[in-house]
Chains A and B, each alone.
Chain A
Amino acid sequence: MDSGLSPQDKKDLDKFIKFFALKTVQVIVQARLGEKICTRSSSSPTGSDWFNLAIKDIPEVTHEAKKALAGQLPGIGRSMCVEISLKTSEGDSMELETWCLEMNEKCDKDIKVSYTVYNRLSVLLKSLLAITRVTPAYKLSRKQGHDYVILYRIYFGEVQLSGLGEGFQTVRAGVVGTPVGTVTLSCAYRTNLAFMSNRQFERSAPIMGIIVDHFVDPPGSGPRTANMGHPCNYRAPDDDDGGPYAGVQDSQEVCTTSFSTSPPSQCVCTLSPSPSKLSKPLPLDSLPLPLAPGLVTHTLYASRLSYHPQAGAAELGHPAANQGLHAGKEHGGVASNPAQPAHGADAHLAAENVANTPGENGGRRRDEQPSPSDPLESLNAFTRKIGAFVNKPNAPIQTAAGLDLPFAAFAPRGLDSEDSDPMVQPPDSPTCPSPLQASLHSQDSEGSGPQDDFVMVDFRPAFSKDDLLPMDLGTFYREFQNPPQLASLSLHISSQSMADDLDSLPEKLAVYEKNIDEFDAFVDMLQ
């Protein structure tokens, strides 16, 4: 019996395993970039599409992978691992998953290397593509950017799963038997994301405009930072870092493109595992690189989300409110709220607002919150007593146009004396117009005040100004949340009107029948 693979087969197998490892890393890292991957099918093969799959090669990733492998191949006891972790803008980090490419001793001697093994490795890569979109870290990585980034770290040697917390789950992408051992590709992922949930409401200065090298730590800067791993930034090859990453020549090594349909030859082997017991230490000088292509683009996008007009009183509740809805859906409670703008006066306001928003709609009333200023409070009290549009102060009031409001021309004019206004149905005559008037005047002098010292605002609808008009949008909305009962619905009236209705029915019917032609013509007109 022959002992060993033919040298050509052995060479091929090593090449396959090496490129399989490199492509595995590419697939995993690309799946955590936060973007959708799209590659094109091509019916004519090129020399660099290993395993007949169009997987782009990010040069830095290949460089890191080769550095980790250092010329070795995954073998028994020497696994290649890709660790995916999450790092928040405050600097906390957490391991999310570890992908392991392992080799065990179970050999499949009869398998044909250049054909069956190659095809099975190709199917395994496809399975990896599918599985990388299924683990929880995928959703997290799609939402990275402003609050957190996803980092990767490649190491070679013993698999370390201790950083994944308790109760981590394992999913296997597949196995491929080869004459030298069985290749196994699996992923262990963390299920307990509770660590993150307390962090989402603390806000610090945002990391807007951060550039890639922010994450680059000098080598040997301490064990913790050194283990941070690399965010991967896919930059064009002509960046200034092109030097160390110019190892593209290896990936241009021609892959097997030619297959034969002739029957498989006898392929028997015994292969002793590589003798050297490798005890390579974990690479401690890994350079972290951000795993979000164009981190700048993400922050720009995020900063757009958190932009709000600073004219007049600062309106900070609502964008945060809108994004609070998204926070509620986050897996494990990691919020994707962009940090509030770096505005010193607003920072604490933002913190309080954000603390109020998660899981709640921005439209919630805050009756328990203190009013920011007396005028507003008296205004609320005043309007709650009487009803909308009923106060008619006789003294002239400032017109809205005089205030610096957008859409001032459309401000409600219910305060002008309009006795003929059909909407105004005051059950009681207004008793105290003067507090309102006084409030208006005092508002004016405080017009610039709220910007600096309001602490908490309650219900603040979008596009409205606070307490500069007696009947602003918020008050209006509040009022009409509890409208009075319709007259026709109140019981003592309805029974009377019912009888009346019934009596008048025959007359009404007669009238309608007389006018039937008119109605028909009307309906035809509508059609």
Chain B
Amino acid sequence: MNCRSEVLEVTVEARQVEEAMLALLHTILLHRSSGKFHYKKEGTYSIGTVGTLDIDCDFIDFTFVRVSSEELDRVIRKAVSEFKDALSNSGSDGMGQISLEFYQKKKSRWPFSDECIPWEVWSIKVNVVNLANEQERQICREKVGEKLGEKVINVVEVINRHEYLPKMPTQSEVDNVFDTSLKDVQPYLYKITYQITDSLGTSVSTTMRRLIKDTLALFMQSVTSHMGRTGFPVCNFSKSKHLLFTLKFSSQKTVAPSLKNIRVDICLSAE
């Protein structure tokens, strides 16, 4: 199936970034969370209850509704504050994007790891501005509040189209569709990633790194399986733009005795 992708854009002041992101991410997650499933016999299940909470923003004239789950709130806050720090440390012109992706896991045979197939991706583009005086900030407070209101209406419109949703899983499959790690609610499996556009226009992206890591891990695993060895790919990401992979092999059966212990270093650097 195709993954549908939605983009929301907001322009905010630096101190409003956190609350704006929380508002939008929580609004989306409110619609994409369900109560905890309790499976009973004969393939039936019951669903727990989801509570809601009104949150007032301090720097924006806006109130949003989120799911009443402190664990989920903590996870989202952590991701948003990482994004905010990255945005402020990048020294760029203040443009970045945070993405909330809902995916399904598809189990594959060993040695390949499970595939994550996204079915809905929300990208929120952020543009940070600096304002000169208090009056402009006051106007910005209200305007951003109105803008966020419009974005919430957009989110609701998209969700209301009732397009593809993963099928309700059986008990054995529930972890492939839902995130069952929380105590009180059960959102669909999701991941949050972000990208900062730095001033050179290149994007240093965590998803890119993950993509490379996943691809190379797969490659290494296929290499090791071909060689009949067990291998441990160990990947280290250094802070600079170099990705260093260290792959260590130890083998019982040796094709050639000199290849008993192999260490492969792969270094990628981005220019």
Contacts and interface: CB of A to CB of B under 8 A. Distances in A.
A125 to B, nearest CB: 10
A173 interface: yes
Contact of A174 (B35, B56, B138, B156): B156
A44 B38 contact: yes
B52 A37 contact: yes
A112 B64 CA distance: 32
Interface stretch (A17-25, A49-57, A351-359): A49-57
B253 interface: no
B68 A130 contact: no
A45 B48 contact: yes
Interface in A215-263: 257-262
Interface in B152-209: 152-153, 155-157, 159-160, 162, 168-170, 183-185
A495 to B, nearest CB: 35
B63 A41 contact: no
Nearest to B36: A43
B44 A258 contact: yes
A171 interface: yes
Interface string B209-244: 000000000000000000000000000000000000
Nearest to B39: A261
Contact of B30 (A36, A46, A115, A126): A126
Interface in A3-42: 36-42
B248 interface: no
B49 A127 contact: no
Interface in B25-81: 27, 30-31, 34-36, 38, 40, 42-54, 56, 61, 63-65, 67-69
Contacts of B47: 45, 52, 257, 259
Nearest to B40: A258
B149 interface: yes
A123 B159 contact: yes
Contact of A52 (B27, B50, B61): B50
A172 B65 contact: no
Nearest to A328: B138
A127 B54 contact: no
Given A133-B63, A134-B153, A124 B160 contact: yes
Contact of B46 (A120, A134, A175, A257): A257
Given A36-B54, A261-B169, A41 B49 contact: yes
Contacts of A41: 35, 48-51, 67-69, 184-185
Contacts, number: 138
A36 B185 CA distance: 21
Interface residues of B, number: 46
Given A130-B152, A260-B43, A42 B184 contact: yes
A212 interface: no
A139 interface: yes
A129 interface: yes
A138 interface: yes
Nearest to A139: B61
A194 B232 CA distance: 71
A54 B152 contact: no
Contact of A127 (B43, B159, B169, B183): B159
A53 B50 contact: yes
A107 interface: no
A455 interface: no
Contacts of B157: 172
Given A37-B54, A41-B67, A43-B35, A131 B152 contact: yes
B170 A46 contact: no
Interface size class of A (residues with CB under 8 A): 35 or more
Interface string A477-495: 0000000000000000000
Contact of B53 (A38, A120, A130, A131): A38
A260 B153 CA distance: 32
A173 B52 contact: no
A44 B184 CA distance: 9
Nearest to A27: B52
A174 B159 CA distance: 9
B45 A259 contact: yes
Contacts of A54: 49-52, 68
Contacts of B153: 131, 134, 171
A43 B46 contact: no
Contacts of B64: 130, 133
A398 B67 CA distance: 66
Contact of B49 (A45, A126, A174): A45
A138 B65 CA distance: 13
A127 B51 contact: no
A52 B149 contact: no
Given A53-B52, A134-B152, A175 B160 contact: yes
B156 A127 contact: yes
Contacts of A53: 49-52
Contacts of A174: 156, 159-160
A39 B68 contact: yes
B48 A43 contact: yes
B48 A258 contact: no
Interface string A385-428: 00000000000000000000000000000000000000000000
Choose among B49, B63, B67, B160 the residue with the greatest number of A CB atoms under 10 Å from its CB. B49
Nearest to B43: A261
A213 to B, nearest CB: 29
B188 to A, nearest CB: 12
Nearest to B69: A41
A38 B152 contact: no
B64 to A, nearest CB: 6
A358 B12 CA distance: 28
Contacts of B46: 45, 257-259
A261 B52 contact: no
Nearest to B156: A127
Contacts of A38: 51-54, 68
B31 A126 contact: yes
Contacts of B156: 127, 130-131, 173-174
14 contacts: A38-B52, A39-B52, A41-B68, A42-B48, A42-B49, A42-B184, A52-B47, A123-B162, A134-B152, A174-B156, A258-B40, A259-B168, A260-B43, A262-B43
Given A38-B52, A259-B46, 15 more contacts: A37-B53, A44-B36, A44-B38, A45-B48, A52-B49, A130-B31, A131-B153, A131-B156, A133-B64, A134-B153, A175-B160, A257-B47, A259-B168, A261-B168, A261-B169
> Top 8 A-B pairs ranked by shortest CB distance?
A174-B160, A39-B51, A36-B54, A54-B51, A41-B184, A134-B149, A43-B36, A49-B49
